[in-house]
A and B are shown apart, each in its own frame.
Chain A
Amino acid sequence: QKEVEQDPGPLSVPEGAIVSLNCTYSNSAFQYFMWYRQYSRKGPELLMYTYSSGNKEDGRFTAQVDKSSKYISLFIRDSQPSDSATYLCAMIPGYSGGSNYKLTFGKGTLLTVNP
């Protein structure tokens, strides 16, 4: 079993829909939780990060972390065709967890937003 599990999709939604993406993980040392967006033939681009548990909102994007369930989510409101990309979750241990620089990624979910 991989440390981080993510449903690869693909996920196809109409423009304006609310999108929910999520990941589960097994390593309780993870403290930083990130979402990256990767367009085709480009490198991953950091969208949002959360430290420990809780919610974080940035415009149309909301990230949630539930450490008790080892489950993280990204919600995209009012989705746009320009949001079409692969979304990768990634995690890093806290300072005392060792290797607190090594990103561990999920497989990525391919999202298509149709006009």
Chain B
Amino acid sequence: GAGVSQSPRYKVAKRGQDVALRCDPISGHVSLFWYQQALGQGPEFLTYFQNEAQLDKSGLPSDRFFAERPEGSVSTLKIQRTQQEDSAVYLCASSLEVSGRPYEQYFGPGTRLTVT
């Protein structure tokens, strides 16, 4: 079946521009996660949604980062006034539930953001 999809796959932004990254989770998946993967590093947690509720946003690096999932399905990660240090791959993951099997997070291919 269809996995997690993300768009765009690649985004080049000039410093100071706003960007919006989209995630389409696996149909029926309640939980949705965003991670940031800098070059040569492992992914780092940004935020977690259960349905439309954002239950944890502790990993968002600054108030320029904002995530939403208004109808409990598609999610958008928005970065305002992009800076060079925002250059990274942004990964979205979804899971059916977190209780019982918290390890079952399915990742999308990521959006590679380059800020020039």
A interface with B by C-beta (< 8 Å)? 4, 6, 8, 32, 34, 41-46, 49, 88, 90, 92, 95, 99-108
Contact = CB atoms under 8 A, between A and B. Distances in A.
B43 A103 contact: yes
Interface of B: 4, 31, 33, 35, 40-45, 48, 56, 59, 91, 93, 98-99, 102-110, 112
Contacts of B105: 46, 103
A7 to B, nearest CB: 12
A107 B31 CA distance: 24
Given A92-B102, A101-B102, A106 B4 contact: no
A46 B43 CA distance: 14
A41 B104 CA distance: 21
A43 B107 contact: yes
B36 to A, nearest CB: 11
Given A92-B103, A103-B45, A43 B110 contact: yes
A115 B109 CA distance: 27
A101 B98 contact: yes
Given A101-B102, A103-B35, A45 B107 contact: yes
A15 B68 CA distance: 46
Nearest to A32: B103
B27 to A, nearest CB: 17
A92 B99 CA distance: 12
Contacts of B43: 44, 88, 103, 105
A100 B100 CA distance: 10
Contacts of A42: 109-110
